[in-house]
Amino acid sequence: MTNASVALPSCTVISCVSPVRQQRRSVCIKCCLQQNSVLEELKSLGVRPKKSLGQNFLVSEAVLSDIVNAASVQAGDHILEIGPGLGTLTDRLVKLGATVLAIEKDDLFAKHLEKKFLEVEQVAVVHADVLAVRQLPEMIRTFQPAHGAKVKVVANIPYNITSDLLSVLLPMRQVIESLYLLLEKGAAVRLTQARPGDKDYRAMSVILGLYCQARLCFGVSREAFHPVPGVDSAVAEFNLHEQLDKRVEEHEDDFVAFVSAAFSMKRKTLINNLKSWNAASLPNVVSCLDSGGLSPQIRAEALDVSAFIALYTCLRVHHISRK
């Protein structure tokens, strides 16, 4: 059995033979050990990673360290981990003295994790689809430390739930302080860097501006995973604002629906898109755009979050909301 925790220089490249596939690859010693231990663990469980659940396991010690450093994980932190898989990142978080709430959808991995961390008081495993946990805010509130500090989310998530997961977690500023997510690189760049006028600027860019400060932390090579995915990854930080802009605080869901409607058809003007939000509002949209010095022909991708909030606030003055 290999031991991935042996202290070795991180960048010495060797020719690594997988014990399962009998294939040879050039990787660093630490990755080789970690990769082989992941492969052996999968083999002992008799499972093949499922594409449908985005199961690409981290096999790079260096990336694990970079993630926990980016999140400044320290003893006493309470961390929500989504998709713990074999528990590699969970293990690292526990070693740093954090307490972990780990939510795993896969039946077999959830059982495996329950056994693996049975004796570890700092880990609670929840067998569930994170997107289907109705009482997620309450569950996180119960998990918060006694002194009420907020929770950090640190996770290597399946790429296909990125938007849905952000939509679920971003509004939870009462219980969550920040998110550190390992994402598909293109998505990480888009989510953290798109600005008004860019081709990647979307409704989610505005929604992110409402809820948080987003930052691209670092890129991660596809070689850091088993199986190796078809794309590179990156870690992104989402630091949630403690308070929402007062003007939308009481109409948060309606504002999000307003922004989403404004972007619904890429080629249409903002006004035409807003018909699906409230068709009767259009004369008011024209006058609110005008009072903000904006053309009635403007498209959603030209407006930043402040312009959206100003436009929405103007419409609320006319008692207009979603119909």
Ligand X SMILES: C[S@@+](CC[C@H](N)C(=O)[O-])C[C@H]1O[C@@H](n2cnc3c(N)ncnc32)[C@H](O)[C@@H]1O
Residues engaged in binding ligand X (CB under 6 A)? 53-58, 82-86, 88-89, 103-106, 109, 129-131, 156, 158, 161
148: annotated binding-site residue?
A: no
* Minimum CB distance to ligand X, residue 297 (Å): 41
**Closest by CA position to 93, among listed 115, 65, 119, 57:** 65
Q: Which is nearer to ligand X, 91 or 237 (CB)?
A: 91
Is 156 among the annotated ligand-binding positions? yes
Backbone φ, ψ for residue 11 (5° rounding): -115, 20
Of 62, 106, 73, the closest CA to residue 87 belongs to: 106
Distance linking the first and last C-alpha atoms of the chain: 62
In terms of CB distance, is 192 or 233 closer to ligand X?
Answer: 233
CB-nearer residue toward ligand X: 71 or 82: 82
* Nearer CB in complex with ligand X: 156/205: 156
> Between 221 and 291, whose beta carbon lies closer to ligand X?
221
Which uninterrupted H or E stretch holds 141?
helix 136-143
Per the DSSP assignment, residues forming a β-bridge with 182 are 156, 235
List beta partners, residue 154: 180
The CB-nearest residue to ligand X is 83
Shortest Å distance, C-beta 116 to ligand X? 13
Q: How far is the CB of 302 from ligand X (least distance, A)?
A: 35
Amino acid at the residue 95: K
Contact yes or no for 132/158 (Cβ under 8 A):
no
Closest distance of CB 108 from ligand X, Å: 9
Helix axes 203-211, 252-262, angle to 10 degrees: 150
Q: Is 129 assigned to a binding site?
A: yes
Residue 114 near residue 95 (C-beta atoms within 8 A): no
| Contact in structure between 214 and 191 (CB atoms under 8 Å) | yes
Q: How far is the CB of 7 from ligand X (least distance, A)?
A: 21
Annotated binding site for S-adenosyl-L-methionine: 56, 58, 83, 104, 129, 156
Annotated binding site: which residue ranges? 56, 58, 83, 104, 129, 156
